[in-house]
Amino acid sequence: MRLLVTGGTGFVGRRLIERALAAGHEVMVISRDPERARQQLPQSVRIGDDATDFVSSLPDAIVNLAGEPIADRRWSDPQKTRLVESRRHATRDVVALCEQLAQRGQAPRVLVSGSAMGYYGDQGERDVTEETPPHDEFAHRLCQAWETEALKAEAFGVRVACLRTGLVLDAGGGTLAKMMPAFKLGLGGRLGDGRQYMPWIHREDLIGAIEFLLEEATLSGAFNGSAPNPVTNAEFTRAMGRHLHRPAVLCVPAPVLKLGLGEMSRLLLTGACMRPRRLQEAGFTFRYPTLDEALAAIVSR
């Protein structure tokens, strides 16, 4: 397979590329900083700074993971615009490439495009599947705009799957890279009342889900990219303390988070009990279906 990836230097993208190369696929990457990408990725990966660099390469499949990190800075109005436009711009470029290739009768077979659990907004304690109506807030509108751009590739004969990911867990980066230091010092604790759900997924399962969607020719539309056993923030906190053998009894009050982070505090204080119904119905099997299994594997490394 000739695989084109955006966001290839990220925590998920780097591992996806490793597995693709190990499987014998040819890998191409679109990067805003090609020199940095060349330093981080294997030499066999072809790197360009624009989708049009790969018109003659005829990619069979595209994985679109690019986008400004959502939690790196406070959500000012200009930052909200950057978050939305970074995703729309990268996805528009990919769709434009699909259009160019379709005009030559050589469109990619499939586009797997990133989205996130934020699509659903705050859902309280009810179970959330791909059919659950979203709660209208910024995180939902951000993900909706991202998915809307990706789905435009269908007009050019490309099968499109949008993967709404939970918190990605593994050693060496992602969510745990920010959390581990505090928990290792015994300073971990719940956020607010701890009742908000935290959909999560081990990075290996997320990559497996991407590979599954690339290969299964009948699958399109939205898929929840999270483990089948979501937990609340309080449950997550207790599990972290248990696996690290540290106390995790502290609490960051909701008003403190709201004061410090503003609207962005909703990422920490609200959530969705997200279930991967469509992936499971299609036959996808999780290596790490429970948080205890995932943390045990991660901490042992």
Question: What pLDDT tens digit does each residue of the chain (301 aa) get?
Answer: 999 999 999 999 999 999 999 999 999 999 989 999 999 999 999 999 999 899 999 999 999 999 888 888 889 999 999 999 999 999 999 999 999 999 999 999 999 999 999 999 999 999 999 999 999 999 999 999 999 999 999 999 999 999 999 999 999 998 999 899 999 999 999 999 999 999 999 999 999 999 999 999 999 999 999 999 999 999 999 999 999 999 999 999 999 999 999 999 999 999 999 999 999 999 999 999 999 999 999 998 7
The token pair that represents 257 in the structure block: 């988070």
Residue ranges in 65-173 assigned as alpha helix (H): 77-103, 138-151
pLDDT of residue 73: 86
pLDDT of residue 4: 98
Q: Are strands 46-48 and 127-128 parallel, antiparallel or unpaired?
A: unpaired
Cα(176)–Cα(67) distance, integer angstroms: 20
- Please report how many Cα atoms fall inside a 13 Å half-sphere around the Cα of residue 209, on the Cβ side: 35
pLDDT of residue 246: 94
- Which candidate, 172, 178, 225, 237, places its Cα nearest to that of 200? 225
- Which CATH architecture best describes the domain 2-299? 3-Layer(aba) Sandwich (3.40)
Burial per residue of 32-50, b for 16 or more beta-carbon CB atoms within 10 angstroms, e otherwise: eeeeebeebbeeebebbee
Q: Are 217 and 255 in contact (CB under 8 A)?
A: no
Q: State the chain's maximal CA–CA distance in angstroms.
A: 61
The pTM of the full predicted model, rounded to 2 decimals, is: 0.96
Q: Are strands 231-232 and 197-198 parallel, antiparallel or unpaired?
A: antiparallel
Q: What are the residue boundaries of the structural domains of the chain, listed by start? A: 2-299
pLDDT of residue 71: 84
